[in-house]
Amino acid sequence: MEWKLTAKQRLFCDEYIKSGNAKDAAIKAGYSSRTARSIGQENLTKPDLKSYIDAKMAEIESHKIADAKEVLEFYTKVLRDEVVEEVPMSTADEVIVIKKKPSFKDKIMASKEIMKRYPLFDPVEKQKLKKLIADTRISEAKATVAERLGNESDDKLDELMDKLIKTSEKPQE
């Protein structure tokens, strides 16, 4: 988004974002120190300046929070021994810091976390998904047949359900 701000206003906003102090930001932006307090407060009420400050603050905040890609990259680095942990160890005279690669347990945990994001590659999860799909198909078919048969005998429904269950139990690819 493009804001219509003067160079002085933009500098004021940037300084305000750094310090959170409107008077100091106004002085650093080049406003008179005599009127800096009132100019600073006035600038904070101007819609263009306020939206610029809000947008920049939101941008700063979004960079502080890890996204899914960053988390997966970290897990992958753990799995591949690309990160080290600094562990303080105390001796009789001093505290030394030892760099330690991820343990086997850490790698297994990272692998599991990665696989949670890709359930179709996990054979157990893939089978669970197939079962859910089959159960859904059976329930939908049962509801359709019940609507069509109305008050007729449940024998036809049971017979049809047996056929559906046998079909769904056959191995699928």
Is residue 134 scored above 90 in pLDDT? Answer: no
Contact 120, 126 (CB under 8 A): yes
In a domain, 1, yes or no: no
Separation of alpha carbons 157 and 93, rounded Å: 82
Place of tokens 């947008």: 55
Whether 138 and 163 share a structural domain: yes
> For residue range 60-93, what is the model confidence (pLDDT) as tens digits?
877 777 777 888 899 999 999 999 998 888 888 8
Domains of the chain: total: 3
In a domain, 2, yes or no: no
Burial 13-33, CB ≥16 within 10 A → b, else e: bbbbeeeeebbbbbbbbebee
Whether 112 and 123 share a structural domain: no
> For residue range 153-170, what is the model confidence (pLDDT) as tens digits?
567 767 777 777 777 666
Report pTM: 0.41
What are the residues facing 161 on neighbouring strands? Answer: none
Separation of alpha carbons 52 and 46, rounded Å: 10
